[in-house]
Amino acid sequence: MEYFALVVCFIVSLIMTPFVKKLAIRVGAVDQPNARKIHKNVMPRLGGLAIILSSLLGIVLFMPEPTTAWPIISGAIIITAVGVLDDLLELPAKVKLSGQVLAAIVSVAGGIQIEFITIPFGEKIEFDYLVSIPLTIIWIVGVTNAINLIDGLDGLAAGVSSIALLTISGMAISMGSTFVAIVGLIVLGSTLGFLFYNFHPAKIFMGDTGALFLGYMISVLAVVGLFKNVTIFSLIVPIIILGVPLLDTTFAIVRRMLKRQPLATADKFHLHHCLINLGYSHRQTVILIYAMSGYFSIAAIIFTRATLWGSTLVIVGLLITIELIVEVTGLIGENYRPVLRFMQGTKLKK
């Protein structure tokens, strides 16, 4: 059933995307090139509508657990409305954020909540609603924005999201979480169908319509499937899976705080910008970030199956990797290179 749903939604999205492209051009939902953007030509956006329609059709056709599905669908409709309006009208940042919070609140009201996390030795930390509700809202809004911010190159957000969805769905299957597995594969199939047209050189962009929807769906699936099921450090596993977009967002916030700029200020120092500045081509940059996302996903899978000491080694390895990525790419700044300087100093002494 799960794999049939994936194939059906892939085909539906593949067929639907060209029609959405024509619609985007007709209604004027196009992305104009500017100094901050990589693309040089006017591009139709709103492509995420194909992902959304295909996903919603799949959820309705293969409706797993209606009581869980409807709160997620309700939030998805709100987040879709925000994305479509932004692609058409370019909404102010505060309005977009308000829409994301509203979608998260609707999901939380329907029972999608981080009610507890697990820690080593099988211990469980339970949250009352005063902690659970704001924590879940922050998680949903944070992941939604992280996917949106990484949507800067052809196929980047769609590919990174696909890797995350594949990992979450695979874990859900192994844990017997049918709902998360089916919905995850439905959204994965829809995203891959769109990616056929979105990979470099892209014929259409997903726009905020697609990026916000994917971020929202990944965040709620993580709440339903990972926070409540993984036995060791349930809080860490979804963070590892989403390591690339979450780190890119975190360091974007750090950069703006160091420069004393508003958090909504746009810049050209995201991970994909930094890799292009290092001389990588558009396609090479996207594939490199795919590889990073795959690395984090594999680490998450190993983490869930390892002993406590094994899990600790995974975390140490990830922290070293993150530090090297930050220093090599200049995510915080070109002058921040303590580990690389130390390594160079050690070589000189030898």
DSSP 172-199: HHHHT-HHHHHHHHHHHHHHHHHHHHHS
What's the pLDDT score for residue 234? 63
168, 225 Cβ separation under 8 angstroms: yes
Q: What is the pLDDT along the chain (350 residues), one digit of tens a residue?
A: 678 999 999 999 999 999 999 999 999 888 777 655 565 677 898 999 999 999 999 998 887 677 788 899 999 999 999 999 999 988 998 999 999 999 999 999 998 998 887 765 557 778 888 899 999 999 999 999 999 999 889 999 999 999 999 999 999 998 888 899 999 999 999 999 999 999 988 999 999 999 999 999 999 999 988 766 555 556 788 999 999 999 999 988 888 888 787 777 777 788 998 999 999 999 999 999 999 999 999 999 998 888 878 888 999 999 999 999 988 988 877 777 787 777 776 655 55
DSSP letter (8 states) at residue 32: P
What's the pLDDT score for residue 129? 86
Contacts of residue 22, defined as CB under 8 A and 6 or more positions apart, other chains included, come to none
Q: Angle CA(255)–CA(260)–CA(261) in degrees, nearest 5? A: 75
Within 13 Å, how many C-alpha atoms sit on residue 63's CB side? 7
Interatomic CA distance for residues 109 and 224, integer angstroms: 14
How many whole angstroms from its chain centre is CA 22? 27
Does pTM surpass 0.85?
Answer: yes
DSSP letter (8 states) at residue 260: T
* 48-61 vs 207-225: helix crossing angle, rounded to 10: 40
The pair of structure tokens assigned to 55 is: 């996903």
**Known binding-site residue numbers for Mg(2+):** 148, 208
**Known binding-site residue numbers:** 148, 208
**Residue with tokens 């290179």, as numbered in its chain:** 337
Interatomic CA distance for residues 323 and 325, integer angstroms: 6
Interatomic CA distance for residues 153 and 144, integer angstroms: 17
Peptide bond into 262 cis (omega under 30): no
